[in-house]
Amino acid sequence: MSRSTLSAILAVAAASTLVFAQPDPADPTPLVDKHYAYPSGIPYQVDYNTAAIRGPQTGYNICNSTTQNQQSECQTSFVNHIDDFCLWAPATPNSTIADTEAEEVAWCTKSGHGTRVIPEGALQAVQYLRTPDYIQITGFFDQTQLNMAAGDYGGELDPHGADLRGNPLGGLMYSNAYPSNNTDNSTYTQITDWTNFMGGNAFCIKVCDPTGSNQQGYCQNIYDRLGCEYNAPSNVVNGTFEVCDADDMTPVGVYVTNGATMTYTQPAESLGAITTVPYTPVVPSSSNCVQYQSAQLYSGAPAPTSASSVPTSLPSGGAGGSNSGNGSPSGSASRSGSAAGTGATGTSNGANTLGVSAAASVVGVVFAMAFLS
């Protein structure tokens, strides 16, 4: 699909929740069309125009040893290996993704990227899948350690948004994992199509190979109310850390019924809660899984900052998501607000997944739908 066609669809999809779903005249170039070589070509801020409706980005893109701390406002992110990736999360404690989607900063598994570092023990499960066309990381975590409110069902971060400036604004993504440029770990490729759901104590992040096929289908961003289960189907098991090869998923929204290939489109929020989706996502088969211990992967992380209680069951209320897209004072182009709810169904290489995870996933999505209606 051509970029212009995709943009048109985005505009239509976004128009359902926003009066003005279109590029901001002050910064009309879509974030996905802003390309910078790393590190030499990175500007201090890619989104700096103070006349823009949502304002300039809150952080910066040049990140280095002086910005390497737990107050970092770095908005340049990486997805490399299971021991070296970043998630987008709030800059200040007890925030919801819906309220802060434009302002998220990079939280990485290790230092060296000029960002915050995810505290020790915050990641409770991580599955890294390498497919022919993308890398997908799903997992469970104590989201309060990444400044998210305990009950937040969260939402989607992606390089689009109704004004095409991205959430977070100006957020850049790089990887050293793609074949075209993986001769060593210091050569980075900019990722233009990616998606990151955060919430419900689960996360998923998917980065599509810029030289791969159908990156806009695999890293689709118009199913933001359906969470990880639909956008990043996985059989991640809580408490495990593994790297696998996997097949590509069926592009988000595409399914086969009675021999016919159909495309499901997420309905507008104005039509109310999504009560049914006409298909169940299929978890692609995986192989060559290698398991790790958390300590092997995430040594050197800072200690947790507080004795925050980790919810052991799903919280019974969405602190976040409920107001998303309802027109923030700044005329925000917010469209986020679905549970990350990582799908955990079936078995993986003989290992039984935790029933609680499967239940959490379903309930999380249901909750997200209820709160977002």
Binding footprint of ligand NAG on the chain (CB under 6 A): 44, 60, 62, 64, 66-67, 80-81, 83-84, 94, 124, 140, 149, 180-181, 184-185, 187, 189, 201-202, 210-211, 238-239, 310, 312, 356-357, 360
Supply angle C-alpha 47, 50, 55, rounded to 5. 70
By beta-carbon proximity to ligand NAG, the closer residue of 201 and 336 is: 201
Other C-beta atoms lying within 10 Å of the C-beta of residue 41:
9
By beta-carbon proximity to ligand NAG, the closer residue of 15 and 62 is: 62
Residue type, 232: A
Which residue from 102, 98, 74, 94 is spatially nearest to 86, judged by alpha carbons?
74
Distance of alpha carbon 4 from alpha carbon 30, whole angstroms = 11
By beta-carbon proximity to ligand NAG, the closer residue of 44 and 257 is: 44
By beta-carbon proximity to ligand NAG, the closer residue of 253 and 321 is: 321
Residue 54 CB, shortest distance to ligand NAG, in Å, is 21
Q: What is the DSSP string of 210-260?
A: TTSS-HHHHT--S-TTSHHHHHS--B--TT-EEEEEEPPPPPTTEEEETTE
By beta-carbon proximity to ligand NAG, the closer residue of 279 and 292 is: 292
Instruction: Give the CA-trace dihedral at 128, 242, 114, 183, to 10 degrees.
Output: -70
Whether residue 261 contacts residue 251, with contact meaning beta carbons closer than 8 Å, is answered with no
Residue 227 CB, shortest distance to ligand NAG, in Å, is 13
By beta-carbon proximity to ligand NAG, the closer residue of 114 and 281 is: 114
Residue 253 CB, shortest distance to ligand NAG, in Å, is 25
Residue 181 CB, shortest distance to ligand NAG, in Å, is 4
Whether residue 166 contacts residue 160, with contact meaning beta carbons closer than 8 Å, is answered with yes
Residue 38 CB, shortest distance to ligand NAG, in Å, is 9
3-state SS class at 289: strand
Residue 1 CB, shortest distance to ligand NAG, in Å, is 20
- Max CA pair span of the chain: 58
Residue 300 CB, shortest distance to ligand NAG, in Å, is 13
Residue 88 CB, shortest distance to ligand NAG, in Å, is 18
Distance of CA 133 to the CA centre of its chain: 17
Any residues with CB less than 8 A from the CB of 8 and at least 6 apart, and which?
none
Distance of alpha carbon 293 from alpha carbon 207, whole angstroms = 24
Distance of CA 335 to the CA centre of its chain: 13
Residue 274 CB, shortest distance to ligand NAG, in Å, is 21
Which residue from 354, 369, 363, 321 is spatially nearest to 199, judged by alpha carbons?
321
By beta-carbon proximity to ligand NAG, the closer residue of 83 and 247 is: 83
Residue 309 backbone dihedrals phi, psi, to 5 degrees: -80, 135
Residue 22 CB, shortest distance to ligand NAG, in Å, is 29
Distance of alpha carbon 22 from alpha carbon 255, whole angstroms = 29
By beta-carbon proximity to ligand NAG, the closer residue of 187 and 299 is: 187
Distance of alpha carbon 285 from alpha carbon 373, whole angstroms = 34
By beta-carbon proximity to ligand NAG, the closer residue of 24 and 193 is: 193
By beta-carbon proximity to ligand NAG, the closer residue of 121 and 251 is: 121
